[in-house]
Amino acid sequence: MSDPVSIGTAKVLRNTGKALLVEIDGEEAWVPKSVIHDNSEVYSGQSEPGELIVEAWWARLNGFGDGT
């Protein structure tokens, strides 16, 4: 498991059992719930935008900054 990183302010658009569809900087992305960190302000069922914190390896793999 890698260290958590912030990938920006996100708003939840859709919630499934295993992932969230979020909007970050005008772009939509599916984020597996398993990579969302406990300190994230974005979580399932939330309607207000907040800081999305995920595992660094996932952020790097999906093109969100350098994952650090």
User: What integer pLDDT is reported at residue 39 of this predicted model?
Assistant: 92
pTM of the model: 0.87
Q: With 70 as the cut, is the pLDDT of residue 67 above it?
A: no
Domains annotated for the chain, with CATH where assigned, are 4-61 (2.30.30)
The Cβ of residue 12 has, within 10 Å, a number of other Cβ atoms equal to 20
User: What integer pLDDT is reported at residue 1 of this predicted model?
Assistant: 53
Q: Which residues contact 46 (CB under 8 A, 6 or more apart)?
A: 12
Q: With 70 as the cut, is the pLDDT of residue 68 above it?
A: no
- 1-53 pLDDT, tens digit each: 568 999 999 999 999 999 999 999 899 999 999 999 999 999 877 779 999 99
Q: With 60 as the cut, is the pLDDT of residue 64 above it?
A: yes
> What whole-number distance in Å separates Cα of residue 3 and Cα of residue 43?
18
- Grouping H, G, I as helix, E, B as strand and the rest as coil, residue 13 is strand
